[in-house]
Structure 1
């Protein structure tokens, strides 16, 4: 190489520095007895071992060769990958305190700067989680009052579907409106019309992972140990909107798409709705225990959709002795939920949509420890009970009123994901909502 060229010299020096940093970091983490994994290239790490379009599948595949606990390198940074039900249960539930910290992925840190209940760790996270849970409960999560809000919103959703007059449409936007309105009713005390300009602006901000509107919050500047400052409370509110809108509406999209592809499953739900609820009243959460098939279908939608396949990033909270290895404090940890939700050892037909995964031989609903769409342990989704209520009430209300038919041939509906990053995103299709 001609080093007389200053640009080439600078580039060469930069590469040397990166290489030295990589070697030092590798030597440092090797002192921690990280688990073995695929051989990594200097600087690039295991880039060529991971399919960027479906990274979770690559990680599950690597676990078949390197075991349920192994190390991959993202550039110069190591990550410990956890696969399989037993491993993830041990790490997140039995040893939850050790793995409860949140790794500051650049994409998350850029959006949150470490503020808010999702991105924070340590004492900040503990305070914000306690505050969020108590606030959600005070505003009705898990109570009759929030059920009534969801029932009312479901009727607005039915009205919006009827306005399509059975012509083809993509239901995604309307379902995002409905899901977001539940969070609006909790945070702002009221819902918005689906055409409201401010509401549309809010939805756009949520979709862009941007700012949200927020009313005034209490500050505790006098308490140096308190995490109730403006940035934390604003970001926590934003977290509620992002999680409460996108996850619920995306799961409903998966459900409509799957039911349109499999009309015999949709028909069984219609029959159960007619037998238990009828057409003269709204579905209630009490109906769920009397509707095992519908409950099984909703659970199977969540299992099959595998919405957050690699979980949100975890981090070792301290130096951890785990299964014969020493994971240093601050190490990136990836509990691959997909390895549980799609495990052949846990499910009879892991790659197929089959509600029988949640039904016993008598047709009664049966749950499974391996059902982890909300994650598990201390970092389990704090809005789980709200999401479960929304999914049941929204879906049963829609199916009480409509039959969903696809515009294209059913066999051409692709129920695999079109994008697989932090979220599994389904393909986009139009459907006809035919009144029953």
Structure 2
């Protein structure tokens, strides 16, 4: 009787308000933080902090307000952002085993479907990582393939520079040179810098990396069910990766035609041999599809950041002629006119310091790839539940005022002792 009276007293508008209040309470209850969870900006109902920019400048500002460990919520996904040298080291080194897994990022899952090196987890990831490390070291260090390809590619690179007349953008040539070094390790082939199809593949890969940080691409990961039907950069990323995968799958098929399990020429040959050995170990996931996505990871991971590092190195050489002169003097003293080798590294203290400062100052990877807590853990006194996404703010490490004498200045001296030793 009472319920009937309440029902009759409610008009349509009242029912809408009641329904909204119910959804709001459900959202609050569902997404409430556990005790001693890191603080963070107040999330909007249903959306969370989806309008907070996921860039290093915003993360730095939030760290000033909430501390070196704070939380965000994108949709219903909780994430923790870790800043500062000490806390990042705690997360990535001291407690690496607690944050070793990758989250299920909808956009990457759409592309990789759990395969490859970067986005896989568990036993599959461990076996592939062990295999990859072992065989890349074998081709790189034992067989000297990496050193030889770098020496040869350096000649091609210098010759290409010499043919340029007047000012030019070195991006295409550098990208070709670096990718060729990676390509020699993976599928034993280099490409001419003017190969139009290969340059298109490199441009597609570069476009993917640029688009991944766009707000609309990040919006896809917050609301994949809706965004998958809409146009946007996420569709371009998926399309580009499919074409990149097709290019690399062609290389795999070419290898299968003349593959000799007793004489592996490169990573693909070694992987094909491992696939035969593990054909009964389905959990490890050694198959042709996984091989293609592993080569995508190696090709992309070894090309983009190295190319941009070299571009920055050239810029700093131009900007600081005194540093350029010191680099040149050490090359003349240690190497002379012969090709450099890995054995020279130990005797080139200033160049070692210069390279490390080039890796620090440009801030090439401001925010690290996301990880997931694989178990309940405590970080910096805060409780991090199993499954929580964690992002480390690498910018805060590279510019930590407590660790660097002049963090905002390009200074190779950051990596030299009082005697000039690296």
TM-score by shorter chain over 0.5: yes
How far has the Cα of 1:291 moved from its partner? 1.9
Structure 2 Cα separation of the partners of residues 281 and 183 of structure 1? 23
Aligned positions of 1:22-421 closer than 5 A: 22-27=27-32, 30-31=33-34, 33-47=36-50, 50-51=52-53, 55-141=55-141, 144-165=144-165, 167-209=166-208, 210=241, 211-212=244-245, 213-214=248-249, 215-216=252-253, 217=272, 218=275, 220=278, 222-278=280-336, 280-365=337-422
Per-residue Cα deviation, 1:191-238 (whole angstroms, up to 9, x for no partner): 122223443343244334422323144365533322212322211110
How far has the Cα of 1:17 moved from its partner? 8.4
Identify unmatched segments of 5+ residues in structure 2.
Answer: 1-10, 209-240, 254-271
Change (3 A) 1:20 1:111: farther
Change (3 A) 1:290 1:32: same
Structure 2 Cα separation of the partners of residues 257 and 18 of structure 1? 54
TM-score (norm 2): 0.76
How far has the Cα of 1:85 moved from its partner? 1.7
Structure 1 Cα separation of the partners of residues 19 and 186 of structure 2? 49
How far has the Cα of 1:128 moved from its partner? 1.3
Per-residue Cα deviation, 1:83-105 (whole angstroms, up to 9, x for no partner): 11221222211111110011233
Structure 2 Cα separation of the partners of residues 326 and 148 of structure 1? 49
- SS of the equivalent of 1:346 reads coil
Contact 1:32–1:327 (8 Å) recurs in 2:
no
Contact 1:32–1:328 (8 Å) recurs in 2:
no
Q: CA RMSD in A?
A: 2.6
Per-residue Cα deviation, 1:124-178 (whole angstroms, up to 9, x for no partner): 211111121122123224763321111111111011111113x111001111101
How far has the Cα of 1:107 moved from its partner? 3.6
- SS of the equivalent of 2:39 reads coil
Contact 2:334–2:344 (8 Å) recurs in 1:
yes
Change (3 A) 1:32 1:107: farther
Tell me how many residue pairs correspond in the alignment.
Answer: 351
Per-residue Cα deviation, 1:1-29 (whole angstroms, up to 9, x for no partner): x979xxxx8xx9997787466324312xx
Which has the higher Rg, Structure 1 or Structure 2?
Answer: 2
Structure 1 Cα separation of the partners of residues 384 and 201 of structure 2? 41
- SS of the equivalent of 1:34 reads coil
Structure 2 Cα separation of the partners of residues 259 and 96 of structure 1? 36
Structure 2 Cα separation of the partners of residues 345 and 99 of structure 1? 25
Structure 1 Cα separation of the partners of residues 137 and 359 of structure 2? 24
- SS of the equivalent of 1:73 reads strand
TM-score (norm 1): 0.74
Change (3 A) 1:201 1:46: closer
Contact 1:313–1:333 (8 Å) recurs in 2:
yes
More strand by share: 1
The corresponding residue for 1:432 is: none
How far has the Cα of 1:332 moved from its partner? 0.9
Contact 1:317–1:329 (8 Å) recurs in 2:
yes
Q: For structure 1, which segment, 58-67 or 290-299, has the greater mean C-alpha deviation from structure 2 after superposition?
A: 58-67
More helix by share: 2
The ranges of structure 1 where at least 4 consecutive aligned residues each deviate by more than 4 angstroms after the TM superposition are 12-21
